[in-house]
C-alpha cells in the first residue's frame, strides 16, 4: 500500500515538474531580452499558460497533502528544519500566481503596469524555481539535525551551501529548457519559433553546465555526488541516457516534429528525477541522526487506506478532466476571452 | 511578540485573508452560472455581459485564493508541526478530498475562462457550474477538519499519541455538520451582499441602470435566501456549541456564573476581573432558551473551568456580538429586498444601505471565525492538545508574521486597485454596448 502512495508521490512530483515547471520556465524566459518579439512572446505565454497553470499548480498541493496525511514523519521535520526556504518558496508562489493573473486581467493594458507585472512574474518564477532546488537538495545532505538546540545549525545550516545553490540554478535551467521546447510547438510564427529554438539550444547547454556545477559543488558535501551516482549502474545509466537523448531532441527539432521534441525533453527531465529517486529511495530524508524512510514515517494503516482511496477515486475524476482540458486547449486555433 | 503569539497571529491573518477569497470562489461561480444560464435561455446580450464581467472577478479572486490556499497548506506544518504530526493521520482525509475537489475546480475554471467558442455551449456552461460545485465541496471538506478540532473523534489518545484511528469517524465528527452549514450559508450571504452592493453603487451613478439592476437581483437573491436561512442554521450551531463546548458558549455570552434563566446579552463588555458584564442589556432567560429550548435550563458559567482553560472572554464575546448583529441586519435587508422587488421599485435609501453593506458579510465571517478559533483556546484540539504544545520550535516567528502582513497587504491593495480598473472599463463598455 505504501508502494501505491510512493507511486502517487512520484507521479505528482513528476507532473509538477513537467507541467508546473514549464510554467515557471515561461516566466524565466520572459526575463530574457526578446527585442521586438517581447509582446508576441508575452501574448503566447498568456495563451499557453492561462487555461492550465492553476491545474498544473495543484500537483504541488497534492504532493503536500499526501505527505502530511500519509507521511507526517517526513512532513514535520521538513517544515520545521527547512522553515526558511519553505517561506521563501511560498512568497514566490504567491507573487508569481497573483501577478500572472493580474497581468492578464488588468482591464487597462498599459505599458507601465504591464512591465511591473511581467517583472514580478518572471522575477518570482526564477526565485521560486531556485528555492525548489534548494529544498530538493537539502533533503539528502544529512545536515538536518533534529537534536540540536543551536539556531544556526538547526534552521540555517541544512540548506545553506554551494550544493543547494547549484541545484537551485540547475532547476532554473531545467524549467527554462522545458518551457523553450514546449513553446516552440505553441506557435506558427516563424520568428517566434526561431526565438524559442535559440533559447532551447542555449538552455540545453546551460542545463549541462549547471549539471556539472551540481556535481562539482557536491564535493563540499558529506557524500559527493559523482561517487554515489557512478557507483551504481542504474543511476549511471539514467544519467547517460538522459544526456544522450539530447541528440534525439535535436534531430526531432530539425525535422519539426513538435510532439516528439516535447516527449524527448520531458523524458530527459523524467530520467533526471528518476536518477534522483534511485539515489535515495525509499528514504525520504537524510538527517544527521540517520535516514528517515517512507515506510517508517508513514501514518497508521487505516489512514493510508483512506488516502489511497481518495487518490484512486480522485484520479478517476482528475485524469479525464485533465485530458479534456489539454484536448480543448492544446490543439490549434484557440479563441480566448 | 512571543513566538506563540506570532504563530497564532500569522495563522489568524493567513486564514482571515484566505477566507475572503475562498468565500468568493465557492459562491460567485453560482451567480455567474445563473447569469450565463439566463443568457443561453433568453439570448439577451445583457446577461452575457454580466457573465463576462463576473467571470473576470472570479478569475482574479480565484487566483489569489489558490495561492493563499497553497500558503495555508504549508503553513499548517510551518506553524503547528506537533498538531500536524498527531492530527493529520486522524483528520487528514477531508484534506485529501479537498485536494481532489480543488483540482477539479482548477481544471474547470481553465475550461470556463478560456473555453468560449471552443466547446458546446452547454458543456461550457456546465464547466462554470463545476467550478462552483467543486469550490463549494472544498469549503465543506476544509471546515470539517476544523469541526474535528472542536469535537475530536475517531481515535483514542494514549500516552500523547493517537491510536485506534478511524478517519471516517473523524471526518463526520459532531461539529462538522453545523459548522459547514453555517459557513457555506455565510459565504453565500457575504458574497451576495457584497456583489449586490457594488452593483447598487453603480446603479446609483445612473449609467447602465437596467444592467446593474439585473445583476443586483441575481446576486441578492442568493444573498437574501441565505440570510433568511442563517438565523435557523446559526441557532442550530449555537445549540451544538452549548452541548460540545460549553466553555466556548460561556465566553461567547460573557456568562461567568452557572445559573438557571441565564440572560442573553445585547452588547456589553465582559469584565474578567469582577466576572460581570458591563454596559450590556440583559434579556433574562433567553440564553437558557436559545441553548436548551427552556428558559429555566441551567447554563454553565466560566467559573466551572479552571482559569487557565478560559478562552479570551472579551474577544470571543465581542466577535460573537458583531457576527449576530450583522446577521440580523442582513436578514432585515433581505426581507426588504423581497418586499421592494414585489413592489417593483427599490428606493434610493435602500440601495444606499446596500452600498454600505458591502463589507458587512465578510466582517461577520471574520468575526464568526474569531469566535470559533479564539473561543477554542487554549486548545488547538479541544480537550486533547493545547495550542502552546503544538507550535513550531523555530524562533523569530514574528518575522514570519511581518512578512505575510506586508505581502498580503500589498496583495489586497493590488486586488482592490485591479477591481476598480475593471469596473471603470466595464462601465465604459456597457455604455457603448447596451
**Strand B269-271 to A290-293 pairing:** unpaired
How far, in Å, CA of B54 to CA of B113, rounded? 11
Burial class (CB within 10 angstroms; exposed 0-12, middle 13-18, buried 19+) of B364: buried
Q: Closest-CA residue in chain B for A146? A: B393
**Chain segment B285-308, per-residue pLDDT in tens:** 889 988 998 989 999 999 999 999
Instruction: Please count the residue pairs, one from chain A and one from chain B, whose beta carbons lie less than 8 angstroms apart.
Output: 221
Q: Residue A182: which of A168, A166, A199 has the closest Cα?
A: A199
A55 → closest Cβ in B110, B117, B118: B110
Mutate to test the interface with B, among A50, A85, A120, A303 (most CBs of B within 10 A): A303
**Beta carbons of B96 and A329 less than 8 Å apart:** no
What is the mean pLDDT, run by run of 10 residues, along chain B of 434 residues?
92 95 94 95 92 92 91 94 94 92 92 89 94 95 96 92 91 95 97 96 89 95 97 94 94 92 90 88 90 90 92 95 95 97 94 96 97 95 94 93 94 93 88 77
Angle at the Cα of B97 (from B95 to B103), degrees rounded to 5? 100
Mind telling me how many Å the CA of B400 is from chain A's nearest CA?
A: 8
Q: What is the pLDDT of residue A51?
A: 87
- Beta-carbon separation of A303 and B89 below 8 A: yes
**pLDDT value, residue B416:** 93
Please, are residues B69 and B22 in contact by the beta-carbon 8 Å criterion? Answer: yes
Residue A281, chain B, CB below 8 Å: the answer is no
Residue A159 contacts residue A134 (beta carbons within 8 Å):
yes
* Average pLDDT along chain B: 93
User: Domain boundaries in chain A?
Assistant: 2-329
- Categorize the per-residue pLDDT at A335 as very low, low, confident or very high, splitting at 50, 70 and 90: very low
What φ, ψ does residue B248 adopt, rounded to 5°?
A: -65, -45
Q: What is the pLDDT of residues A255-302, one digit of tens each?
A: 888 888 889 999 999 999 998 888 888 888 888 888 999 999 999 999
What is the full DSSP assignment across B304-371?
GS-GGG---HHHHHHHHHHHHHHHHHHHHHHHHHHHHHHHT---HHHHHHHHHTTTHHHHHHHHHHHH
Question: For position A232, what pLDDT does the model report?
Answer: 81
Window A:11-70, CB contacts with B under 8 Å = 50-52, 54-55, 57-58, 60-62, 64-66, 68-70
What chain B residue is nearest to A77 in terms of C-alpha separation? B81
For residue B99, give how far its alpha carbon lies from the nearest alpha carbon of chain A (Å): 6
pLDDT at A188: 84
User: Nearest residue on chain A to B109, judged by CA atoms?
Assistant: A51
SS3 of B20-77: the string is HHHHHHHHHHHHHHHHHHHHHHHCCHHHHHHHHHHHHHHHHHHHHHHHHHHHHHHHHH
Residues from chain B that touch A78, judged by Cβ atoms under 8 A, are 77
Residues of chain A numbered 102-161 and touching chain B (CB < 8 Å): 102, 105-108, 151, 154-155
Burial of B297 (0-12, 13-18, 19+ CB in 10 A): middle
| Nearest residue on chain A to B67, alpha-carbon basis | A94
Chain A residues lying within 8 Å of B69, measured CB to CB: 61
Nearest residue in chain B measured CA to CA from A334: B118
Residue A315 DSSP SS3: helix
Q: What is the DSSP string of A42-88?
A: HHHHHHHHTTTHHHHHHHHHHHHHHHHHH-HHHHHHHHHHTHHHHHH
Domain ranges of chain B: 3-258+300-433
Q: Are A328 and B118 in contact (CB under 8 A)?
A: yes
Give A88-147 pLDDT, tens digit per residue: 999 999 999 999 999 999 888 888 999 999 999 999 999 999 999 999 999 988 899 988
What's the rounded Cα separation, in Å, for the pair A229 and B388? 44
Contact status of A280 with chain B (Cβ, < 8 Å): no
Cα B429 versus chain centre, distance = 33
| Mean pLDDT for chain A overall | 90
Tell me how far apart the alpha carbons of residues B145 and B134 are, in angstroms, rounded to a whole number. 17
Q: What are phi and psi of B265, to 5 degrees?
A: -100, 135
Residue A337 binned pLDDT confidence (cut-offs 50, 70, 90): very low
Q: What is the pLDDT of residue A332?
A: 52
Q: What is the pLDDT of residues A43-96, one digit of tens each?
A: 899 888 888 888 899 999 999 999 999 999 999 999 999 999 999 999 999 999
- How far is A144 from A303, CA to CA, in rounded Å? 27
Contact of A138 with A82, CB cutoff 8 Å: yes
A4 three-class SS:
helix
> What is the per-residue pLDDT for A270?
93
Are B433 and B49 a contacting pair, CB within 8 Å? yes
How many Å lie between the alpha carbon of B353 and the closest alpha carbon of chain A? 28
Say if residues B278 and B306 touch (Cβ distance below 8 Å): no
Give A230's pLDDT tier (boundaries 50, 70, 90).
confident
User: CB-CB: which of B71, B86, B96 is closest to A65?
Assistant: B96
Q: Which residues of B touch A107 (CB under 8 A)?
A: 56, 418, 421-422, 424-426
Quick: pLDDT tens for A274-284: 988 888 888 88
Contacts of B418 in chain A (CB under 8 A): 102, 105-107
**Digit-coded pLDDT (tens) for A168-218:** 999 999 999 999 999 988 888 888 988 999 999 999 999 999 999 999 998
Amino acid at each position: 500500500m505504501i508502494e501505491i502512495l510512493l507511486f502517487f508521490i512520484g507521479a505528482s512530483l513528476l507532473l509538477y515538474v513537467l507541467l508546473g515547471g514549464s510554467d515557471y520556465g515561461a516566466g524565466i524566459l520572459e526575463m530574457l531580452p526578446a527585442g521586438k518579439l517581447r509582446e508576441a512572446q508575452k501574448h503566447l505565454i498568456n495563451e499557453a499558460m492561462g487555461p492550465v497553470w492553476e491545474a498544473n499548480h495543484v500537483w504541488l498541493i497534492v504532493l503536500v497533502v499526501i505527505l502530511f496525511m500519509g507521511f507526517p514523519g517526513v512532513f514535520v521535520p521538513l517544515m520545521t528544519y527547512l522553515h526558511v526556504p519553505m517561506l521563501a518558496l511560498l512568497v514566490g508562489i504567491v507573487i508569481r500566481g497573483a501577478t500572472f493573473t493580474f497581468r492578464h486581467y488588468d482591464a487597462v493594458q498599459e505599458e507601465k503596469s504591464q512591465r511591473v507585472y511581467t517583472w514580478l512574474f518572471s522575477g518570482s518564477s526564477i526565485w521560486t524555481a531556485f528555492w525548489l532546488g534548494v529544498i530538493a537538495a537539502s533533503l539528502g545532505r544529512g545536515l538536518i539535525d533534529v537534536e540540536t538546540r543551536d539556531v544556526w545549525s538547526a534552521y540555517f545550516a541544512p540548506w545553506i551551501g554551494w550544493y543547494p545553490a547549484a541545484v537551485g540554478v540547475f532547476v532554473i535551467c531545467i524549467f527554462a529548457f522545458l518551457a523553450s521546447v514546449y513553446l516552440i510547438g505553441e506557435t506558427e510564427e516563424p520568428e517566434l519559433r526561431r526565438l524559442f529554438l535559440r533559447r532551447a539550444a542555449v538552455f540545453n547547454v546551460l542545463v549541462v553546465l549547471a549539471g556539472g556545477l551540481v556535481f562539482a559543488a557536491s564535493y563540499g558535501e558529506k557524500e559527493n555526488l559523482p561517487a554515489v551516482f557512478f557507483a551504481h549502474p542504474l543511476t549511471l545509466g539514467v544519467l547517460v541516457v538522459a544526456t544522450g537523448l539530447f541528440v534525439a531532441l535535436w534531430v526531432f527539432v530539425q525535422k519539426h516534429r513538435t510532439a516528439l521534441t516535447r516527449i524527448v525533453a520531458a523524458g530527459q527531465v523524467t530520467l533526471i528525477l528518476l536518477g534522483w529517486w534511485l539515489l535515495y529511495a525509499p528514504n525520504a530524508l537524510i538527517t544527521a541522526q540517520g535516514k528517515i524512510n517512507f515506510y517508517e514515517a508513514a501514518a497508521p494503516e487505516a489512514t493510508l487506506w483512506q488516502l489511497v482511496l481518495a487518490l484512486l477515486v480522485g484520479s478517476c475524476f482528475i485524469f479525464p478532466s485533465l485530458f479534456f482540458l489539454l484536448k480543448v486547449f492544446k490543439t490549434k486555433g484557440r479563441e480566448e476571452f | 511578540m512571543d513566538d506563540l503569539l506570532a504563530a497564532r497571529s500569522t495563522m489568524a491573518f493567513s486564514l482571515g485573508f484566505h477566507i475572503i477569497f475562498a468565500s468568493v470562489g465557492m459562491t460567485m461561480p453560482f451567480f455567474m452560472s445563473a447569469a450565463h444560464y439566463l443568457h443561453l435561455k433568453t439570448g439577451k446580450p445583457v446577461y452575457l455581459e454580466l457573465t463576462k464581467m463576473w467571470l473576470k472577478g472570479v478569475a482574479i479572486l480565484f487566483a489569489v485564493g489558490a495561492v493563499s490556499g497553497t500558503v495555508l497548506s504549508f503553513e499548517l506544518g510551518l506553524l503547528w508541526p506537533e498538531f500536524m504530526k498527531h492530527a493529520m493521520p486522524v483528520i487528514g482525509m477531508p484534506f485529501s478530498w479537498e485536494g481532489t475537489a480543488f483540482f477539479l475546480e482548477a481544471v474547470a475554471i481553465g475550461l470556463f475562462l478560456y473555453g468560449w467558442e471552443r466547446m458546446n455551449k452547454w458543456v461550457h456552461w456546465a464547466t462554470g457550474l463545476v467550478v462552483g460545485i467543486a469550490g463549494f465541496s472544498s469549503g465543506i471538506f476544509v471546515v470539517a477538519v476544523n469541526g474535528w478540532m472542536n469535537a475530536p473523534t475517531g481515535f483514542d489518545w494514549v500516552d500523547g499519541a493517537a491510536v485506534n484511528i478511524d478517519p471516517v469517524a473523524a471526518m463526520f465528527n459532531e461539529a462538522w455538520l453545523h459548522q459547514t452549514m453555517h459557513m457555506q450559508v455565510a459565504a453565500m450571504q457575504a458574497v451576495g451582499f457584497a456583489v449586490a452592493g457594488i452593483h447598487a453603487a453603480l446603479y446609483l451613478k445612473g449609467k447602465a441602470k437596467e444592467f446593474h439592476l439585473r445583476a443586483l437581483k441575481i446576486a441578492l437573491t442568493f444573498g437574501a435566501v441565505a440570510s433568511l436561512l442563517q438565523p435557523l442554521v446559526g441557532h442550530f450551531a449555537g445549540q451544538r456549541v452549548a452541548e460540545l463546548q460549553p466553555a466556548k458558549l460561556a465566553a461567547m455570552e460573557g456568562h461567568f456564573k452557572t445559573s438557571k434563566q441565564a440572560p442573553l446579552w445585547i452588547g456589553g463588555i465582559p469584565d474578567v476581573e469582577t466576572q460581570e458584564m458591563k454596559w450590556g442589556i440583559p434579556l433574562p432567560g433567553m440564553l437558557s432558551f436559545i441553548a436548551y429550548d427552556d428558559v429555566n435550563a441551567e447554563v454553565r458559567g466560566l467559573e466551572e473551568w479552571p482559569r487557565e482553560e478560559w478562552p479570551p472572554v472579551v474577544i470571543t464575546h465581542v466577535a460573537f456580538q458583531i457576527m449576530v448583529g450583522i446577521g440580523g441586519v442582513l436578514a432585515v435587508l433581505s426581507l426588504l429586498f423581497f418586499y421592494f422587488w414585489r413592489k417593483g421599485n427599490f428606493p434610493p435609501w435602500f440601495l444606499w444601505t446596500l452600498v454600505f453593506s458591502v463589507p458587512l458579510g465578510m466582517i461577520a465571517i471574520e468575526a464568526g471565525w474569531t469566535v470559533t478559533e479564539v473561543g477554542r483556546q487554549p486548545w488547538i484540539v479541544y480537550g486533547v492538545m493545547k495550542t502552546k504544545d503544538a507550535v513550531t520550535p523555530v524562533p523569530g516567528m514574528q518575522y514570519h508574521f511581518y512578512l505575510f502582513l506586508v505581502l498580503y497587504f500589498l496583495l489586497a491593495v493590488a486586488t482592490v486597485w485591479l477591481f476598480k480598473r475593471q469596473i471603470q472599463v466595464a462601465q465604459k463598455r456597457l455604455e457603448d454596448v447596451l
